[in-house]
Chains A and B, each alone.
Chain A
Amino acid sequence: MTDSTNNKDKLPADLIQSGNSPFDKTLGETMRSQGVSRRSFLKFCAATASMMAMSPAMIPKIAHALENARRPSVIWLSFQECTGCTESLTRAHAPSIESLIFDSISLDYHHTLQAAAGHAAEEAREIAMEENFGKYLLVVDGSIPMDNPGYSTIAGISNYDMLMESAKGAAAIIAVGTCATYGGIPHADPNPTGAVSVGDLIKDKPIINVPGCPPIPVVITGVLSHFLTFGTIPELDHIGRPKVFYGQSIHDRCYRRPFYDKGLFAETFDDEGARKGWCLYKLGCKGPTTYNACATTKWNNGTSFPIESGHPCIGCSEPDFWDGGGFYKALSMPTVDVTKAAIYTAAGAAAAGVALGAMNRSKKNSAASAHADTTIDDLEKEK
């Protein structure tokens, strides 16, 4: 692996950059050195394949790729966010197999998780960026305020400045959560901070959007795994979401779909239909227009998802879902109250109709009265 003859005179930092360092272990070596057996590694690969919604036949390929992957440096920037995305990803109170993925990356900077603070923390970030320039992964959660940089700062650096600076040497950017991908709740009407998404600001780097409020944890780790396994970005849809997780709508994979097709709906919460598990369309479910993996991958390691627990989908992985017309208004219903407008219009139109009718009538009458009588003499005269 290392060419000892050429590297004698190089500094460790240079070696890490060139990727030839003896400290630069592959993922497989890292795991084995941590005492993880091959069986555990296979279990990890199987879970990864399942997370990435890949066919189990891919497991040996994933095993081979992960075996030889290098630990990428990951810098995580948190901007205007509620920390829900970090919470979703890190079940911080209990280690799990998903944390292996976390362990297999070198998380060099993360506000919530790192122990360091202040200048030391910022310096660590800058060193990590320098040493891995062009090769590190930048993960961003939270939106960026553009109205006034002072609305959200870290160590005195505005979100915008930190993002632009950190993006320069990133190999790729993963925008996690609907705030970072599409603006999220800060972006909702009237958007007091002028919040924008990562994609609105960065145009020259590949960006993977992983929306959701929060995103399903396995989706976040799945995207990371994909990057680790293949070193590439997964196939993205027209708004930058990995098709493997966001390629199907909730409606298409919902287990309550047969009820929708048969026309069996819950009318209110906790009525007969709701207890029988009927479709929640009438209660405002946005499943038909929402693309996410909730219906198959589910939450809490496959325990359940909102619809299964009886609440309609709110469409949290779509842009502007907060302004989407109300969580409890069915998709086929208008978002404004037309009844009043309709009644006023009808009254006004009736009045207008009567007025126009009267005008037509008077026109007819005046035409009739202006009608000159014709006599036989007149006709004979024209002969």
Chain B
Amino acid sequence: MSEVEFLSWVRGPGFQIAIVIFIAGVIIRFAEILLLGRKTNLAEAKGSEMGGGLRTIVTRSIPDKSTFKRSTFTVIAGYIFHIGLFVTIFLFAPHILLFKDVIGLSWPSVPTAIVDAFAVISIIALLAILVHRMRDNVLKFITTKEDYVVWLLTILPLITGYMAFHRIGMTAPTLLAIHILSVELLLVAFPFTKLMHAFTLVLARWYNGAISGYRGVES
């Protein structure tokens, strides 16, 4: 298979397969969670459920003081690479074109030099997180194989994207194809792993806020 054939495959059938699995998986899991339902709470409501729920979705984005003190490194590094992922995925011009093609929306982009810097910072943060996880005894104990795989699937698009942009190691069509393939692998693994947190965090935060709000306490 020539380089361009490989690139055309990942841009064509490969992308289709990945998107179908991604969408089907996410929606099915979401539907299952929602349809689980909750037990009726027989106690009297002392506050608003929805109000507490919605507020918490936003406020949980700020780490609370004790968590921050206990796991400073994890909080900071986590924020760094999540923000980095946001910038590199959603604010890079060629990616915005992709979104425009699939969902029809587009938005302004950020100069590529800035995206490049964010990519490097995110890669460093992810590497640091892995080292930290492997050196801390407790973290190492609770880490499963899936955690390592998910870490790899997250860092690969960043590394391959950086390599494709800077033309390191291989010729351009192959580098671009590998980058797109790494993203497709991430999409395929999404519904089956903890990556689902990207969507379920809304439900989880809402639920925490709701049960506290129902009881009339701060969440």
Contacts and interface: CB of A to CB of B under 8 A. Distances in A.
Interface in B166-189: 167, 171-173, 176
Nearest to B172: A289
A319 B2 contact: yes
16 contacts: A265-B93, A289-B7, A289-B176, A320-B2, A323-B5, A324-B4, A325-B8, A325-B11, A331-B176, A332-B94, A336-B13, A336-B16, A349-B23, A353-B30, A353-B31, A356-B35
Interface in A306-352: 315, 318-321, 323-325, 330-336, 338-339, 341-342, 345-346, 348-350, 352
Interface in A200-252: 237-239, 249, 251-252
Contacts of B109: 263
Given A249-B172, A334-B12, A353-B35, 19 more contacts: A262-B111, A263-B111, A281-B94, A288-B176, A289-B173, A318-B173, A325-B7, A330-B94, A333-B97, A334-B98, A338-B102, A342-B23, A342-B102, A345-B19, A349-B31, A352-B28, A357-B31, A357-B35, A357-B36
Contacts of B30: 353
A332 B95 contact: yes
Given A249-B167, A289-B173, A319-B2, A336 B12 contact: yes
Contact of B93 (A263, A318, A319): A263
Contacts of B25: 349
A291 B171 contact: yes
Main secondary structure of the interface of B (DSSP, over half): helix
Interface of A: 182, 237-239, 249, 251-252, 260-263, 265, 281-282, 288-291, 315, 318-321, 323-325, 330-336, 338-339, 341-342, 345-346, 348-350, 352-354, 356-358, 360-361
Contact of A334 (B35, B102, B104, B171): B102
Contacts of B98: 332-334
Interface string B182-216: 00000000000000000000000000000000000
Nearest to A282: B97
Nearest 8 pairs of A and B residues by beta carbon:
A353-B31, A357-B35, A332-B94, A349-B27, A349-B24, A320-B4, A319-B2, A289-B173
B110 interface: yes
Given A289-B176, A321-B4, A361 B94 contact: no
A47 to B, nearest CB: 30
B143 interface: no
B97 A238 contact: no
A151 B37 CA distance: 69
B3 interface: yes
Q: How large is the interface on B (under 10, 10 to 19, 20 to 34, 35 or more residues)?
A: 35 or more
A360 B101 CA distance: 37
Interface string B1-44: 01111011001110110011001111111111011110000000
B205 to A, nearest CB: 21
A382 B108 CA distance: 71
B171 A238 contact: yes
B188 to A, nearest CB: 13
A280 to B, nearest CB: 12
A211 B13 CA distance: 28
B94 A334 contact: no
Interface string B82-123: 000000000001110110011110001111110000000000
A332 B97 contact: yes
Nearest to A334: B15
B35 A358 contact: yes
Contact of A288 (B28, B35, B172): B172
Contacts of A288: 172, 176
A153 B98 CA distance: 46
Contacts of B97: 281-282, 330, 332-333
Contacts of A358: 35
B31 A350 contact: yes
Contacts of A349: 23-28, 31
A184 to B, nearest CB: 12
Nearest to A338: B19
A355 B5 CA distance: 40
Nearest to B2: A319
